[in-house]
Structure 1
Amino acid sequence: MALTLYVDTDRWRAHQRSVVADFPGLVPVCKGNGYGFGHDRLSEEVSLLELDTLAVGTTYEAEAMKDRFSGDLLVLTPYRRSEEPVPLPDRVIRTASSVDGVYGLVGSRVVVEVMSTMRRHGVQPSDLGKLHAALDDVRLEGFAIHLPLDRTDGSDAVEEVIGWMDRLRAARLPLDTMFVSHLTSEQLLRLRQQFPQTRFRARIGTRLWLGDHGATEYRGTVLDVTPIAKGERFGYRQQKAQATGWLAVVAGGTSHGVGLEAPKALHGMTSRAKGMARASLASVNRNLSPFVWDGKQRWFAEPPHMQVSILFVPAESKGPKVGDEFRAILRHTTTMVDRVVDHRG
Structure 2
Amino acid sequence: MALTLYVDTARWRAHQQQVLQQFPGLVPVCKGNGYGFGHERLADEATRLGSDLLAVGTTYEAARIKDYFSGDLLVLTPFRHGEEPVPLPDRAIRSVSSVQGLGGLAGARVVVEVMSSMKRHGVTPEELPMLASAIENVRLEGFAIHLPLDRTDGTDAVDEVIGWMDRLRNARLPLHTMFVSHLKADELHRLQAQFPQTRFRARIGTRLWLGDHDATEYRGAVLDVTRVAKGDRFGYRQQKAASDGYLVVVAGGTSHGVGLEAPKALHGMMPRAKGVARAGLATVNRNLSPYVWSGKQRWFAEPPHMQVSILFVPSDAPEPKVGEELVAHLRHTTTQFDRLVDR
- Identity across the alignment (%): 76
Shift of 1:196: 0.6
CA distance in 2, matches of 1:307, 1:336: 11
> Are 1:124 and 2:141 matched, yes or no?
no
Aligned residues: 343
CA–CA distance in structure 1, aligned partners of residues 130 and 119 of structure 2: 20
User: What is aligned with 1:264?
Assistant: 264
Give me the whole-angstrom Cα distance separating, in 1, the residues matched to 2:28 and 2:241.
Answer: 48
TM-score, reference length from structure 1 = 0.99
Q: What letter matches 2:104 in structure 1?
A: G
CA distance in 2 between partners of 1:318 and 1:198 (Å): 61
CA distance in 1, matches of 2:10, 2:104: 45
Task: Give the CA deviation at 1:21.
Answer: 1.0
How do 1:174-253 residues align onto structure 2 when only pairs under 5 Å count?
174-253=174-253
Q: 1:97 maps to which residue?
A: 97
- Once the two structures are TM-superposed, the CA of residue 220 in structure 1 deviates from its matched residue by 0.2
Secondary structure of 1:219's partner? strand
> 1:103-142, aligned counterparts within 5 Å?
103-142=103-142
Q: Within 5 Å, which residues of 2 pair with 1:22-37?
A: 22-37=22-37
SS of the counterpart of 1:127?
helix
Task: Tell me the distance in 1 between the aligned counterparts of 2:293 and 2:300.
Answer: 12
By how many angstroms is 1:50 displaced? 1.1
Q: Name the structure 1 match of 2:309.
A: 309
SS of residue matched to 2:220: strand
Map residues 2-151 of structure 1 onto 2, 5 A cutoff. 2-151=2-151
Distance between the aligned counterparts of 2:36 and 2:318, measured in 1?
30
- State the AA in 1 paired with 2:297: Q
Q: Which amino acid aligns with 1:97?
A: S
Q: Could you tell me which residue of structure 2 aligns to residue 339 of structure 1?
A: 339
Work out the CA distance in 2 between the residues paired with 1:31 and 1:300: 30
The aligned residue for residue 328 of structure 1 is: 328
SS in 1 for 2:77: strand
Q: Counterpart amino acid of 1:310?
A: I
Alignment RMSD (CA, Å): 0.5
Give 1:277 deviation, angstroms: 0.2
Which SS does the other structure have where 2:119 is aligned? coil
Question: What is the one-letter code of the residue matched to 2:309?
Answer: S
Supply the distance in 1 between the matched residues of 2:190 and 2:64 (Cα, whole angstroms).
Answer: 37
Question: Which residue in the other structure is 1:159 paired with?
Answer: 159
Distance 1:321 1:307 in 2: 19
Q: CA deviation at 1:243?
A: 0.9
Q: Post-superposition shift, 1:45? A: 0.6
Quick one: distance in 2 between partners of 1:211 and 1:262? 19
Q: CA deviation at 1:268?
A: 1.2
How far off is 1:103 after superposition? Answer: 1.1
Q: Tell me, what secondary structure is at the counterpart of 2:76?
A: strand
SS at match of 1:18: helix
Structure 2 CA distance for aligned equivalents of residues 336 and 191 of structure 1: 38
Distance 1:188 1:174 in 2: 19
C-alpha offsets along residues 54-112 of structure 1, whole Å, 9 cap, x if unaligned? Answer: 00000000000111100000000000011000000000000000000111110000000
**SS state of the match for residue 13, structure 1?**
helix
TM value normalised by structure 2: 1.00
Q: Deviations over 1:209-256 (max 9, x none)?
A: 000000000000000000011110000000000011100000000000
Supply the AA of the counterpart residue of 2:189. Answer: L
**Code of the aligned partner of 1:156:** D
- Runs (5+) with no aligned partner, structure 1: none
The letter for the 1-side match of 2:114 is V
In structure 2, the residue matched to 1:278 is 278
CA distance in 2, matches of 1:264, 1:16: 27
Q: What are the superposed Cα offsets for residues 273-297 of structure 1, whole Å, 9 maximum, x if unpaired?
A: 0110000000000000000000000
- Give, in whole Å, the separation in 2 of the partners of 1:293 and 1:42: 31
Runs of 4+ in structure 1 off by over 3 angstroms are none
The answer for unaligned runs of 5 or more in structure 2 is none
Q: Distance in 2 between matches of 1:47 and 1:176?
A: 24
